Structure 1
């Protein structure tokens, strides 16, 4: 089997690079991944998997941070223009994106699940020659959207793993579930898939991330610590407009409420129990220099080393927001549009990964554990599996990084795609080979 895996991976480079570049050219933000979902389906539907799309994938009411209908309609029309069949657009209408692919060998054995996030970010991609996507002609076609966190690579690894499963399916026992998750950015998508029950009888769950820390291609981390629980919060302040010169006393200034909140949110006392974070990332208010603003908006996030620490930050944020509104005599509306919890990879996976990649020509070293230092809603999937007695891990796949994640010049060495597929393939064969 070692020779078979090596031979398969050696023949996949052209396919993996091509798919990754196509996805990179067509980035779609959370709940608008119509083209991306169909592109995955078009590869997997000929490989013998049972596919679930649309509301068969998730619980609609459990989605968080779904865009406004106008943005969804625009995304659906864009998908049609790219050749996505109408039947797929209809299935996904209203922002029901994402896909789950299942393979049941019919032979008793473990159930493995792998998760791959598929969404992009609202970032304008760099067009300078030193940025490989721009130089090679596969940068984003859509201004203001970009794969700046390697999810195009994660999706590609998932499709590559599906091709491997199809290649060796007659040698397998047990079940495999491949989860292509929408709306990871902002921690908005995982809960809706967990609530659909995809993780309820899983024995082993694996997910992971390209990059995070700059390592050579071929270096992998078997597990991850340091997930920060998080809350993504939108705030609207509603005041009363007035003429700033003639009758300022008649106004209730929503702009001042928003800016006061932004300043004081960053002054929340940190907690001695562990790492805590807060960031106001966006503010919008006002319509003219001589107008008392009647509307102000904030987008912010809190994070905590544990779920409890994040809850402390979120509650303090709510207190500050309501106090700022009261101070300026305006109304405030607070909406949680994303949520992530803390989690830990099972230590058990360290030896398992090391043994699985023995004999690999591509995996050069296995690091037992690394700290993520960020948030990830795969934690909900990990927790569900672990609560039911299964094992879960979140891996990291090494690559040099010319720029950091969420940066307009973010990119990665495409050699990491083969490394990711091979790692997962070897783990799969460790448990499901007959």
Structure 2
């Protein structure tokens, strides 16, 4: 069988699976679960894999599920990964299968990712005779809080893995298209927690107090100089303070204030330098306002950098399956993804799968939006692409 015929057969088989994948995805969408709470989702995944003939390991890295397919001949192990968790967002999509759980929604499409990887597992189980090696399927929990991949790695899911591949749906890219990028694709994710201590007192007598709210406000503005005056304008960095908490009433200067934020970079070198900058700026600004600042800086995930050889393999496969006209170069983004932790351990590639309306059609809402929706035609295509990536890498 030629490669073209083999890929076409995978696409055709994926299309036949579409009703099954849509049904599974919609069930997950109806019943979303937050990070580290994905017990029902994991049980459904494990049951479906067993129905496909797989032996399944559950409870890996929280509620992660792992299965492996051994090919007809010995060879390397390729890992394919999907995430399963939802977000604390109230759904406003208007879908007939909208979340039945108040304040919880699959607003990032992890329900689609899970269905896609199940589809790939089903397709590959019927093509194992083509494999010189093994395929390991990783269904990961807690991507949204940047914990799941780290826990999975700590529990050995990458042992013996030669390469790893994953995808993320993109509602601003039409379904039927794929976007790839060499080098850095997504940003690092760090968290900052700043605790300020002043001296509380009456709001009418500020000279008898030390106001941590004023100091906190100055720190919010001052942290932006870490970007505008200390880092090259050619190195993208974002510093965002997402929470500032202080006080309980209108006429009291509080004793304490706290700030929580995130820092995103596109360079491992810049990421490594940010802790010193933030600690210095927050500390010195607080001192200037007679407050004390304690900074906790947490490096959560690194910059997501795919391996060139693996990107080239994905591009060749994508173009062979859906044509070169349907693959574009992905724009970089400072959004983070803990798939980057896998890529620190083994080479691999992460790419975007179009899940949005066709150009000129209805407006597409982005990831994490309460009106987020996907074109479910991306499900069988994503499954076929992941299966094709594994088969062609393992000598199919």
Corresponding position: 1:288 with 2:249: yes
Which whole-Å CA distance do the structure 2 matches of 1:346 and 1:244 have between them?
57
Report the equivalent of 2:327.
367
Report the equivalent of 1:68.
none
Write the deviation string for residues 397-422 of structure 1: whole angstroms up to 9, x where unpaired. 12326112222222221111111101
Q: Secondary structure at the match of 2:20?
A: helix
Q: Which runs of 5+ in 1 are unaligned?
A: 59-95, 387-391
Report the equivalent of 2:37.
32
How far did residue 53 of structure 1 move?
A: 2.5
Query: How many aligned residue pairs are there?
Result: 380
**8 Å Cα contact 2:15/2:381 also seen in 1:** no
How far did residue 154 of structure 1 move?
A: 1.1
Distance 1:282 1:194, change over 3 A: same
Write the deviation string for residues 15-60 of structure 1: whole angstroms up to 9, x where unpaired. 1111222222223332222222222222223333332322xx23xx
Residue correspondence of structure 1 range 37-186 to structure 2 within 5 A: 37-54=42-59, 57-58=60-61, 96-105=62-71, 107-126=73-92, 131=93, 134=94, 136-186=95-145
**8 Å Cα contact 2:123/2:384 also seen in 1:** no
Report the equivalent of 2:380.
418
TM-score, length-normalised on structure 1?
0.78
Report the equivalent of 2:222.
264
Correspondent of 2:281 among 320, 341, 345: 320
Residue correspondence of structure 1 range 294-333 to structure 2 within 5 A: 294-333=255-294
Q: Which runs of 5+ in 2 are unaligned?
A: 1-5, 358-363
Q: Secondary structure at the match of 2:261?
A: strand
Q: Which has the higher contact order (CA 8 A, sep 6+)?
A: 2
**8 Å Cα contact 1:116/1:207 also seen in 2:** yes
Write the deviation string for residues 250-282 of structure 1: whole angstroms up to 9, x where unpaired. 655444443332232233234115111111122
Which whole-Å CA distance do the structure 2 matches of 1:146 and 1:252 have between them?
42
**8 Å Cα contact 2:78/2:164 also seen in 1:** yes
Q: Secondary structure at the match of 1:41?
A: helix
Write the deviation string for residues 367-402 of structure 1: whole angstroms up to 9, x where unpaired. 36423313222112112113xxxxx11111123261
**8 Å Cα contact 1:48/1:103 also seen in 2:** no
TM-score, length-normalised on structure 2?
0.85
Distance 1:12 1:372, change over 3 A: farther
Distance 1:264 1:143, change over 3 A: farther
RMSD: 2.8
Which whole-Å CA distance do the structure 2 matches of 1:145 and 1:265 have between them?
32
Report the equivalent of 1:396.
352
Distance 1:359 1:379, change over 3 A: closer
**8 Å Cα contact 2:192/2:260 also seen in 1:** yes
Report the equivalent of 2:235.
274
Distance 1:104 1:339, change over 3 A: same
Report the equivalent of 1:10.
15
- Which structure's residues are more often strand, by fraction? 2
Which whole-Å CA distance do the structure 1 matches of 2:110 and 2:156 have between them?
24
Write the deviation string for residues 269-308 of structure 1: whole angstroms up to 9, x where unpaired. 3411511111112223221112222343322111112111
Report the equivalent of 1:382.
343
How far did residue 109 of structure 1 move?
A: 1.4
How far did residue 248 of structure 1 move?
A: 5.3
